[in-house]
Structure formats: C-alpha cells, structure tokens
Structure 1
Amino acid sequence: MRFARRLLPCLLVLSSASLPAARMIIQRSPLAGFTHHAAPEVWARLSEGDRVELALDSRNPHDSQAVQVHWQGRLLGYLPRQDNGALARALHQGLPLEARISRLRPHPDPRQRIEIEVSALAAHGG
C-alpha cells in the first residue's frame, strides 16, 4: 500500500495536465465482512465488472478509516483495514475513484469470494 500512498498525490498533479482521460488501477483487495452484510443475499446477482461505490465510515468503532463497499445501494462489506488507509484519505480529499468487482469465486472462505479493484480517474481537459 506504500505505492498507493505515493501514487495518489501524483494524481492531483496529473488531473491538471492536458492529457486524455486516464484510468489507473491502484488497488485490488478482497472484500471484508462478507457474511455480516448483504453480500450473501445478493451473491447470485453479482457479476465481475459490476461497479461498486466506496464510502467512508468514520463512525466505525473498529476502524476510523473504514471504507464501505456498496452495490446497488446495498452494503456488501468493507475494504480490509490493512488496505484502506490511502483510499480513505483519497475519498476524504474527493479524488475521483472508481471501484468494480474484479473477481467472484465460490470459495469456502468468505474472505476469498469477492475481490474489489479500485482505479484512480484523471479527467483532463484538452
């Protein structure tokens, strides 16, 4: 995650450059909390490539930098605590991020079932 911490400030500089729109994958993480939220209920409707929304959960009693993962308005779970610091700061700063389901697999370990891919978007003027 040190790479992501170094990369995110660079995106601020790039966003002011006159370049074509860019999308750069900055993180892939498993979904944490699969069994505690709506993921089991909606599992059959999820698809790889589905867009998910990230939201800060600063009131989370276990993690002040918690990042929720929502699909169609349903809370699927969270990004793992060890992976969320740089993304929490980016969300707090309003950096343009996009998140998608990059992998789904029926696995006995719920922590291995859904992988989330986060990309930084740099919209540029020409």
Structure 2
Amino acid sequence: MDGLNWNDVRDLARRVAHGELFALTESTRAILLRTAPQVGIAISDAERALQAETTAEELLAEVSRRISTGSRRLSRTLAEVERCRDAGDADGARQLLNDVLAVEVVPHYQDILRANLAALDDGGGAARS
C-alpha cells in the first residue's frame, strides 16, 4: 500500500495515552486523514470526526486500536497457520485465515491474509508479509 507509515499515528496515540493533551493541529489533521482510510475508516467519517477536538481524539484512538488489534490478530493467526501447515492441515490453516479475514477491517492486513490464502490454494507455503 502506497504511503503506509503508521509510526506518526502510533507516536501521537502513545503520547496522548501517556497524558499529553490532544491538540487538533494541521499536522494531526493530516495524519488522521491519511491513516483513517488505511485502517478501513471512510474518509467522510474521518472528515466528520475532525470537526471537533473531542471526536478527532476518538478517531485517533480508533485508528490506533485498529492498527494494534489487527497486528496482534494477524501475528497470532499467521503463527497458527504455520503450525497447521507443519502438521499437514491445509484445511485448518485455510479456515483460520478465512475466519480472521471475516472480521479484519484494515485493508493492509486483509491483503496479507488473502496472500496467505492464495499461497495455500496454490499448494505452496504461507506467503508472509
């Protein structure tokens, strides 16, 4: 995905979580407008949230949550898929990937799951990303 860099949003969310006051600056606005669609939030919803500081801070929390929750879920799933593959259980691996794909909202993570499904369907190993 072009421009996929979540370090700035992670850093901002971490600072706010540790007590820094959230400020809706042009920089903050730009970060949230760029990252919201990357985590499956419609740009129109992000623009609405950016109309007020309170809702913008909630948007930051949701963007951050989707990144971290999806990352943890993806890591666990790929480890389980690898265990299934090693045990010769391609159907189990496929089911794990499909189950997570059904709930994952972050397009980048969806792409990784689909690539791993395609690798299984092609008879190959896991296609890590």
| TM bin (shorter chain) | under 0.3
TM-score using structure 2 length:
0.26
The structure with the greater share of residues assigned to helix is 2
State the TM-score, normalized to the length of structure 1: 0.26
Instruction: Identify which of structures 1 and 2 has the higher relative contact order when contacts are C-alpha pairs closer than 8 Å and 6+ apart.
Output: 1
Greater strand fraction, Structure 1 or Structure 2: 1
- Structure with bigger gyration radius: 2
